[in-house]
């Protein structure tokens, strides 16, 4: 018969610490501690498998399981020499949830189970502490009433407060026995009134009800929500832990507390936590009494303190990780109720991992697994001062981390004008490419539309600038320069604060603290990751400033330089526009010639910043109409001019411009005249860009720098497109080499960002020297999702369980991933040493990085501030794969 | 040594009729006729291989080939007992091109080669016909001067006309010998002046020059253009045919002519052609003298006529196809100069094929190969009266065939209003879905933008309505209701004529003729195709009228009913708009309930029309904003209202509408909130549609009809999307069955139109009962080409040789085709009997149909007027595959 119930107690447990799948985290910890000989109150764990059966059988356990539970209970009675409902030695137990992954506060707990009008007297008699007995009883009714019988906690609280007041008690501990007895009476009356039945006096019935309630709490709304947020599978289920009660509320020689073996906030190696004398665990959490720092325990109960230090030290060494523990002291006797690996801040995680390696406690491989890559973000950006008071306005999507305060502006122009006077936050419905200059001067960006990969989000991450997008609860009236959130209205110039890592938006100015990314611990930790990882890490950077940041953060090259960002700069845009509006090739060339010096200077800066490292430069990609005024705005302008009898010459001029804009207008620009299609229609644009690249490279080389340009042709779908553009690159390179007398090694490769490119990757690789997967566009075309439009659909799909994750954030392995694999396989079938990278947003996402490592990419490229995250994620997947392989061998 | 030169003459030829690859069409025909013992002037063919060598060696033949040419020439001299340049018996030859596929008039020909000042006299003496000799000489200089020496024909013509006038001659044959001699003198002077050298008197030099010129003409611009238009490979090359001259210009017992063994226009079995007495071949073509119908030859030279009839009958039986032949009679002796399978109209092709089967000349398999599928179009639509005079205005893309005249209107509203008074042609820059009602009443549609798969093109083809799109030379001013073409200006109400099969646009009203698609020959012919084909043929039809047409044309079901077309109808659009603007589900349901009776009636009509056949119904697909006013138009309206101080309430109302439109606005609607994404966000829409389908189906079934609904979920990319929508279909079906007491068999399947759907096709097939490849969208996403925008890019790519064909017209086998194969393979790996079809535009394209047959699809679905074309194409690929397999066995 399958085993469903695992006993622990009397120095031995049927379970083990590595049985989290079956016993949940808490159950596994209790078993492990019991086996280690620690003072753990005996009990048993009903496995997570039972939770699944519970739901399959619509709330019934079945006779097999019931039998095992009954046997375990009998054994517990025997070990403790107590009996449920006994009028002499009544057994009291706690019934708690405990899933594989900690879900703090999400599921239900019942303490003191077994008390009724009879056993409470036995308890009073046995302990000689009537007050304690009745206090425990009223707590039990309250908890059971709330959790099992679904009566609102508020209703119990009202009765409690009333009686406490009547008794004139300041503290809960001051409520006299008689009042507690009155409380029990009134609680029971409440139960009777609400449920139309008496409170269950039969401890067996209490026991059954509690187990069902705990299993039932697995699917309460807040637990479901928590799992969805934390990507915990619905299938896991919770275990139920039944454990003999020990009491911290038996007077001043009793107490209860929680603690950490190291400081979970800073990572310092210090004993950290707090406790309460004469209290049960819930009091510490509830915050009614202020707990005492744990060092004080040394003064109050030195022996218990010494024992606790000794035990927790052992636990940390045993688990080889910082522990988060719970304990209870019952009449000077210490009991351990829980231990688990403690949650910690990014800063603490890095310090603890680095320290534990120094202490010889863990290996570097283990150390790199101890930090969630995304936690590093906290070390790289300013954060809100945890002590600051905040007034939250709304919540958007956490598009780019950091925390900033600034005065609101509603347009790029206003941003530029007012940034001179001080920090501004640019607030827009959505941003467009010509907002770039405003985004550059703003300290943060807030949009009410768009998803995690909208224009604002992508550009802000690239700039390492705090950004919150898609805050749909906010209404933005750009015309009247108003921001509405609920009934609040903010105007231009008002202060606002953004927290990019949570997506929260606050009213006014909130203090921030600047962390120190260059600390010794951080550097030591990242060094370990670098030793382990196989994947190269590059950055997406378009300007020298970003390149320098990237290099500082450890980038080993630039994986994507988007040359169009250079076209949007204020001093260039007029030339770009004239070039686009030109009617003939010579005219276009004339304006391109004016752009050439700018582009050359851009590349010089980049090459200088990345001296010795490769720089991948993508030729012009976006559709040309992005550089022109918006069609609908022109239409409105003309209509208004007409309505107001404007000057005919002015109207005619605008109409001419509109005509050209109309010619370039596209219904689906994402699928239009962009990428290499531009370079094929206007070879002179590619020529100018290549000339700028090679002239810059030759100049730098003459200065003694090492320049490694890699020229990348975007949006290739047909092998001939690539060949045609490569011919231009090679021709211009030769021309520049001849003119300058220098010669620079370079390669020409392509983005693989269309399904067709994947399908013909073997043909493309005949002439392409490298591939870079543009997984943003590849995700768009594979799914048929426009990044700019699909945000709401994706949110809806995730809520409905149709999508597990946003495919623009986490590479969709089952769909896009299959195409990526196919592209790699086909590409390398032609050119076995083909260098392959990825430069979409996924390059900075840990789960996607794992995939990139698995499929054998050479490098990932991400925004500069993501580089450390990518370095760590790349190391983690090496370790994970190694462990999996080792597990495979031992099985 | 490889054989490059093939001799024919004296009753025997080294080549054969099936050696078209090597000898070209003409050379193979000459060899075959020679071997058959027909009177063919002897000569030799220089193979197409030499043409390739000619270009590789930059115009040199090399000594091997030269040697073979010299030997062949010597043999010709020996057989004819004549000698090039001989002053006694000079050999005169023609030098002609001849590629594998006929390219009429594209390449060069030289007649009478071998004449010079000496041999002309010998010819005169030998023939006793001085006028003939000098006439031949002047023709030679003229042709050689033009073809080999590149002097413009016009310059020779001017001299000729001048001398003809001076001689007072009315006909060319009336020019006296002295004038011909003067002509030769002046021609030579012209050559000297233009080339700075004397005309080559040496026949060997003439000979070499002519061969080079003919090979050179393979790559003249008009030949290259012709090949591109007709998809003839550049690699084939031309052969050169050198043949002893025979002369039709030796007086009244000589002549020359061309003919067909059957009428190439009607297919009637009648001897058809024309001839000229005392003329060379070029005169027939040149149109200077009006040729005589060939039956007249019976009167003039009965013996030659009898012999010609006998020979051409033999040729037709030999080749088992209608022959197009050329002959020359030299002094009462008949010579055959060419025979080949004759080009014919669609009507003739069908009649000849059907007749030849009846005559026992060919098998049905052969018959179906004798008609180009696209030729059938001529039998299905009205065509311009070939006798009508036309004034061409411009040329656009031939989007949908037919020929119509109508009065110009510039908006859908005007179309509806004026169609009551008579036929209108709707002229728009581009059409949008809410132009549908205008398109329905117009007889034809003309747009200045968009490609072959633009909205106008797709809808018009669906309606079987004449349509020309992308006529970029035309400027349309919708505001002022003007159409500009060059310096012409047409206004509303002016007549215009469109020829949809050529894309031509004519001024005024041009007469058309109505063909008869239900003729006996057509039915007989299509019956043969149906016997042979494996693929099922369905039609895309949205309304009963289209379904009836489709059925008449032989559709075996409806493969795609686009339900949104029902939403655009005038009486429904207001309900649709209210539904979209509703804020709550109950409100939406209220408006959907108003749409329900309309949709139900639509489906009743469709099911009735298709009684007994399957009807595939696609649930709502387009983004909702397509049903609302255009964003930019609203913006303009509001701005104008503001500028003119309009009523605030009116402005507020418009602004509210704009706000909703803004919410629905998408940057790339093709990749936005459409397809099953709509049904997932608004399940009530899918519910209403399913209810309409099943209520209609149950009603019809109760009337005794057989209804086979197949419900198709669009734009699925994730298996769960499909499952969620299928659950709605099944639930509503059960509800309706319970309510009505009827039960209808139905299936639920999906479109495969996204690369992700292909990748997970095996998962989708777990619940989907059929697939239909939406290759329009699949092509869009695979290429990253928006149908509406990529027209110009595709044209440019085809001109540059980057694309061989428009992938929206001809399924891209190397890219999209690979994904189609993958989808089929994956789908059938899960469900081996999965029914799979295609319903994109490709379903009506013969090349794509061949692919569909090859990869094992069950059916193709195309617009109703394409159904016969698809039936034929489906038969042809079966025959072609069988022949290929047989060839494979015999090799």
* pLDDT tens track for A138-197: 999 999 999 899 999 899 999 999 999 999 888 888 899 999 999 999 999 999 999 999
**What is the distance between the alpha carbons of residues B843 and B840, in angstroms, rounded to a whole number?**
6
Kind plus residue range of the DSSP H or E element containing B121: helix B119-127
Helix axes B683-702, B585-609, angle to 10 degrees: 30
Percentage of chain B beyond pLDDT 70 is 98
Residue B855 per-residue DSSP state: T
What would the mean pLDDT of A479-485 be, rounded to a whole number? 92
Total beta-carbon pairs less than 8 A apart between chain A and chain B: 189
pLDDT of A284 reads 66
Residue A555, judged by CB atoms within 10 A of its CB (0-12, 13-18, 19+), counts as: buried
Q: Which residue has the tokens 């304006």?
A: A591
Sign of the C-alpha dihedral computed for residues B393, B399, B405 and B407 taken in this order = negative
A613 contact partners, CB below 8 Å, separation of at least 6: A551, A555, A556, A557, A558, A708
- Mutation site for A-interface testing, chosen from B667, B753, B796 by largest number of A Cβ within 10 Å: B667
By CA distance, what is A717's nearest residue in B?
Answer: B783
Band of pLDDT at residue B377, cut at 50, 70 and 90: confident
Which residue from A26, A47, A13, A12 is spatially nearest to A339, judged by alpha carbons? A26
**Helix %, strand %, coil % for chain A, to 5?**
50, 15, 35
The tokens of B717 are what? 């990319």
**Which residues from chain B sit within 8 angstroms of residue A814, using beta carbons?**
759-760
Q: What are phi and psi of B117, to 5 degrees?
A: -60, -25
pLDDT of B287 reads 53
Secondary structure class of A238 (helix, strand, coil):
strand
Q: Any idea of the CA torsion for B662, B665, B667, B671, to the nearest 10 degrees?
A: 160
B785–A781 C-beta distance less than 8 A:
no
Spell out the SS3 assignment of A373-417. HHHHHHHHCCEECCCCCCCEEEECEEEECCEEEEEEECCHHHHHH
Minimal C-alpha gap between B788 and chain A (Å): 7
Q: Which residue has the tokens 């080079």?
A: B212
A640–B635 C-beta distance less than 8 A:
no
B675-693: burial string, b at 16+ Cβ within 10 Å, e else: bbbbbbbbbbbbbbbbbbb
Residue B290 per-residue DSSP state: P
**Which residues from chain B sit within 8 angstroms of residue A722, using beta carbons?**
none
CA within 13 Å, CB half, A855: 28
B636: nearest CB among A636, A675, A803: A636
Secondary structure class of A96 (helix, strand, coil):
strand
**Which residues from chain A sit within 8 angstroms of residue B671, using beta carbons?**
668, 670-671, 780-781, 784-786, 789-790
The tokens of B588 are what? 């939406």
pLDDT of B278 reads 87
Spell out the SS3 assignment of A698-729. HHHHHCCCCCEEEEEECCCCCHHHHHHHHHHH
pLDDT of B518 reads 66
**What is the distance between the alpha carbons of residues B789 and A665, in angstroms, rounded to a whole number?**
8
Residues paired with residue B499 on neighbouring β-strands, in sequence order? B403, B504
- Extended beta strands in A784-848, E state: 835-838
Spell out the SS3 assignment of A777-794. HHHHHHHCCCCCCCHHHH
Residues paired with residue A298 on neighbouring β-strands, in sequence order? none
Q: Which residue has the tokens 């990529």?
A: B790
- Extended beta strands in B620-776, E state: 708-713, 747-752, 770-773
Band of pLDDT at residue B174, cut at 50, 70 and 90: confident
What is the gyration radius of the CA atoms in chain A, in angstroms?
A: 33
Kind plus residue range of the DSSP H or E element containing A485: strand A482-485
The tokens of B676 are what? 């099953």
A819: nearest CB among B680, B755, B788: B755
**What is the distance between the alpha carbons of residues A448 and A757, in angstroms, rounded to a whole number?**
35
pLDDT of A203 reads 95
Number of other residues whose CB lies within 10 A of the CB of residue A236: 18
A718–B797 C-beta distance less than 8 A:
yes
The tokens of A844 are what? 């900075």
B639–A639 C-beta distance less than 8 A:
yes
Secondary structure class of A4 (helix, strand, coil):
coil
The tokens of A791 are what? 């945000």
Which residues of A carry out catalysis? 455, 839
* pLDDT tens track for B15-73: 998 899 999 999 999 999 999 999 999 999 999 999 999 999 888 888 999 999 999 99
**Which residues from chain A sit within 8 angstroms of residue B644, using beta carbons?**
643
* pLDDT tens track for A240-271: 999 999 989 888 899 999 899 998 888 999 99
A760–B815 C-beta distance less than 8 A:
yes
pLDDT of A47 reads 96
pLDDT of B648 reads 92
Minimal C-alpha gap between B222 and chain A (Å): 24
Q: Which residue has the tokens 């594979």?
A: A782
B639–A636 C-beta distance less than 8 A:
yes
* pLDDT tens track for B408-418: 999 999 998 89
Percentage of chain A beyond pLDDT 70 is 98
**What is the distance between the alpha carbons of residues B115 and B136, in angstroms, rounded to a whole number?**
8
Minimal C-alpha gap between B846 and chain A (Å): 23
Minimal C-alpha gap between A719 and chain B (Å): 8
By CA distance, what is A646's nearest residue in B?
Answer: B643
By CA distance, what is B718's nearest residue in A?
Answer: A802
Length of chain B: 891
A789–B666 C-beta distance less than 8 A:
yes
Comparing B186 with A564, the larger pLDDT belongs to B186
B818–A759 C-beta distance less than 8 A:
yes
Q: Is B455 a catalytic residue?
A: yes
**Which residues from chain B sit within 8 angstroms of residue A714, using beta carbons?**
none
Comparing B594 with B462, the larger pLDDT belongs to B594
**Which residues from chain B sit within 8 angstroms of residue A670, using beta carbons?**
667-668, 671, 784, 786
Band of pLDDT at residue B225, cut at 50, 70 and 90: confident
Secondary structure class of B112 (helix, strand, coil):
strand
What would the mean pLDDT of A695-717 be, rounded to a whole number? 97
* pLDDT tens track for B679-719: 999 999 999 999 999 999 999 999 999 999 999 999 999 99
Contact A515, A381 (CB under 8 A): yes
**Which residues from chain A sit within 8 angstroms of residue B636, using beta carbons?**
632, 635-636, 639
Comparing B281 with B790, the larger pLDDT belongs to B790
A812–B677 C-beta distance less than 8 A:
no
* pLDDT tens track for A811-825: 999 999 999 999 999
Q: Strands B272-277 and A323-330: what pairing?
A: unpaired
By CA distance, what is B635's nearest residue in A?
Answer: A636
* pLDDT tens track for A723-779: 999 999 999 999 999 999 999 999 999 999 999 999 999 999 999 999 999 999 999
* pLDDT tens track for B337-362: 999 888 888 888 999 999 999 999 99
A796: nearest CB among B632, B681, B754: B681
By CA distance, what is B675's nearest residue in A?
Answer: A784
What would the mean pLDDT of B471-484 be, rounded to a whole number? 90
By CA distance, what is A631's nearest residue in B?
Answer: B632
How far from chain centre, in Å, is Cα A779?
21
End-to-end CA distance of chain B: 24
Given the residues B467, B561, B839, B862, the one annotated as active site: B839
**What is the distance between the alpha carbons of residues B137 and B125, in angstroms, rounded to a whole number?**
14
B668: nearest CB among A668, A783, A796: A668
**What is the distance between the alpha carbons of residues B279 and B128, in angstroms, rounded to a whole number?**
17
B639–A800 C-beta distance less than 8 A:
no
Contact B246, B335 (CB under 8 A): yes
Band of pLDDT at residue B237, cut at 50, 70 and 90: very high
pLDDT of A589 reads 96
A793–B681 C-beta distance less than 8 A:
yes
* Max CA separation in chain B (angstroms): 105
A784: nearest CB among B644, B781, B793: B781
Q: Tell me the C-alpha to C-alpha distance, in Å, between residue B86 and each of A196, A330, B118.
A: 132, 134, 9
A802: nearest CB among B640, B642, B718: B718
**Which residues from chain B sit within 8 angstroms of residue A680, using beta carbons?**
796-797, 800, 802
Comparing B572 with B769, the larger pLDDT belongs to B769
Helix axes A130-147, A177-195, angle to 10 degrees: 20
**Which residues from chain B sit within 8 angstroms of residue A644, using beta carbons?**
643
B640–A812 C-beta distance less than 8 A:
no
Kind plus residue range of the DSSP H or E element containing B495: strand B495-499
Report the side by side order of strands in the sheet with A488-491.
A474-477, A482-485, A488-491
Secondary structure class of B406 (helix, strand, coil):
strand
B680–A800 C-beta distance less than 8 A:
yes
**What is the distance between the alpha carbons of residues A423 and A420, in angstroms, rounded to a whole number?**
8
Secondary structure class of B48 (helix, strand, coil):
helix
Band of pLDDT at residue A877, cut at 50, 70 and 90: very high
The tokens of B26 are what? 């003409």
Contact B113, B207 (CB under 8 A): yes
B815–A759 C-beta distance less than 8 A:
yes
Kind plus residue range of the DSSP H or E element containing B326: strand B323-330
* pLDDT tens track for B249-280: 888 899 999 899 998 888 999 998 889 998 88
A803–B681 C-beta distance less than 8 A:
no
**What is the distance between the alpha carbons of residues A511 and A495, in angstroms, rounded to a whole number?**
12
Contact B403, B381 (CB under 8 A): yes
Secondary structure class of A550 (helix, strand, coil):
helix
The tokens of B754 are what? 């996204």
**Which residues from chain B sit within 8 angstroms of residue A717, using beta carbons?**
782-785, 815
Contact A198, A227 (CB under 8 A): no
B781–A669 C-beta distance less than 8 A:
no
B670: nearest CB among A640, A671, A756: A671
**Which residues from chain A sit within 8 angstroms of residue B755, using beta carbons?**
755, 781-782, 815, 819
């Amino acid at each position: 018969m399958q085993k469903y119930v695992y006993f622990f107690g009397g120095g031995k447990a049927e379970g083990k610490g590595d049985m989290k799948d079956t016993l949940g985290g808490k159950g596994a910890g209790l078993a492990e501690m019991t086996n280690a000989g620690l003072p753990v109150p005996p009990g048993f764990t009903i496995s997570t498998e039972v939770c699944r059966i519970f739901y399959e059988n619509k709330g019934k356990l079945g006779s097999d399981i019931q039998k095992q539970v009954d046997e375990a209970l009998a054994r517990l009675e025997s070990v403790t020499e107590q009996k449920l409902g006994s009028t002499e030695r009544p057994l009291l137990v706690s019934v708690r949830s405990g899933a594989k992954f900690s879900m703090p506060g999400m599921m239900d707990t019942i303490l003191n189970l077994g008390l009724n009008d009879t056993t409470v007297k036995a308890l009073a008699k046995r302990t000689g502490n009537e007050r304690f007995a009745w206090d425990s009883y009223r707590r039990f009714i309250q908890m059971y009433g709330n959790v099992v019988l679904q009566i609102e906690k508020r209703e119990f609280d009202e009765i409690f407060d009333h009686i406490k007041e009547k008794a004139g008690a300041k503290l809960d501990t001051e409520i006299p026995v008689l009042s507690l007895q009155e409380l029990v009476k009134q609680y029971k009356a409440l139960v009777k009134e609400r449920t139309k039945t008496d409170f269950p006096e039969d401890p067996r019935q209490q026991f059954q009800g509690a187990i069902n309630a705990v299993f039932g709490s697995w699917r309460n709304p807040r637990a479901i929500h928590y799992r969805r947020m934390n990507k915990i599978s619905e299938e896991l289920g919770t275990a139920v832990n039944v454990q003999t009660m020990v009491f911290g509320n038996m007077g001043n020689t009793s107490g209860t507390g929680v603690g950490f073996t190291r400081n979970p906030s800073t990572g310092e190696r210090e004993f950290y936590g707090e406790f309460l004398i004469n209290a049960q665990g819930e009091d510490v959490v509830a915050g009614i009494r202020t707990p005492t720092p744990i060092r004080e325990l040394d003064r109050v109960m030195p022996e218990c303190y010494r024992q606790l230090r000794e035990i927790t030290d052992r636990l940390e060494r045993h688990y080889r990780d910082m522990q988060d523990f719970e304990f209870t002291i019952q009449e000077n006797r210490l009991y351990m109720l829980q231990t688990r690996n403690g949650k910690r801040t990014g800063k603490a995680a890095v310090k603890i991992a680095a320290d534990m390696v120094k202490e010889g406690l863990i290996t570097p491989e283990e150390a790199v697994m101890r930090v969630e890559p995304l936690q590093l973000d906290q070390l790289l950006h300013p954060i809100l001062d945890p002590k600051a008071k905040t007034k939250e306005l709304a919540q958007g999507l956490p598009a780019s981390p950091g925390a900033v305060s600034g005065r609101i502006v509603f347009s790029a122009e206003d941003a530029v004008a007012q940034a001179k006077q001080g920090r501004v936050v640019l607030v827009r419905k959505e941003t467009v490419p010509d907002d770039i200059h405003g985004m550059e001067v703003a300290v943060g960006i807030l949009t009410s539309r768009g998803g995690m990969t909208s224009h604002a989000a992508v550009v802000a991450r690239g700039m390492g600038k705090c950004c919150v997008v898609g805050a749909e609860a906010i209404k933005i009236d750009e015309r009247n320069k108003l921001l509405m959130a609920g009934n609040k209205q903010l105007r231009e110039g008002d202060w606002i604060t953004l927290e990019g890592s949570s997506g929260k938006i606050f009213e006014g100015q909130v203090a921030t603290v600047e962390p120190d990314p260059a600390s010794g611990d951080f550097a030591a930790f990242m060094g370990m990751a670098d030793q382990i990882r196989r994947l190269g890490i590059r950055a997406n950077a378009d300007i020298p400033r970003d390149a320098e940041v990237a290099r500082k953060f450890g980038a080993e090259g630039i994986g994507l330089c988007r040359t169009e960002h250079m076209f949007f700069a204020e001093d260039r845009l007029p030339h770009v526009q004239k070039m686009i509006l030109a009617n003939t090739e010579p005219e276009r060339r004339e304006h391109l010639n004016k752009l050439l010096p700018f582009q050359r200077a851009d590349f010089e800066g980049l090459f200088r910043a990345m001296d010795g490292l490769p720089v991948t430069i993508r030729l012009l990609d976006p559709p040309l109409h992005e550089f022109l005024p918006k069609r609908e705005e022109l239409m409105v302008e003309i209509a208004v001019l007409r309505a107001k009898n404007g000057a005919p010459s002015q109207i005619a001029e605008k109409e001419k411009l509109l005509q050209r804009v109309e010619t370039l207008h596209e219904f689906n620009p994402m699928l239009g005249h962009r990428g290499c299609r531009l370079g094929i229609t206007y070879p002179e644009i590619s020529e100018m860009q290549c000339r700028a690249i090679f002239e810059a490279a030759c100049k730098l080389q003459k200065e003694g720098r090492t320049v490694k340009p890699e020229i990348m042709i975007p949006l290739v779908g047909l092998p001939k497109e690539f060949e045609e553009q490569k011919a231009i690159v090679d021709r211009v390179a030769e021309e520049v080499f001849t003119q300058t007398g220098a010669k620079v090694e370079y390669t020409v490769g392509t983005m693989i960002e269309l399904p067709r490119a994947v399908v013909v990757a073997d043909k493309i690789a005949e002439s392409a020297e490298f591939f870079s997967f543009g997984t943003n566009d590849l995700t768009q075309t594979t799914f048929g999702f426009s990044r700019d439009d699909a945000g709401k659909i994706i949110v809806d799909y995730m809520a409905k369980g149709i999508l597990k994750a946003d495919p623009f954030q986490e590479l969709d392995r089952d769909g896009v991933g299959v195409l990526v694999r196919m592209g790699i396989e086909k590409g390398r079938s032609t050119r076995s040493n083909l260098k392959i990278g990825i430069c979409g947003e996924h390059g900075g996402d840990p789960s996607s990085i794992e995939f990139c490592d698995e499929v054998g990419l050479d490098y990932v490229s991400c925004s500069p501030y993501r580089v450390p995250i990518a370095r760590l994620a790349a190391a983690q997947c090496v370790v994970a794969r190694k462990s999996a392989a080792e597990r495979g061998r031992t099985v």
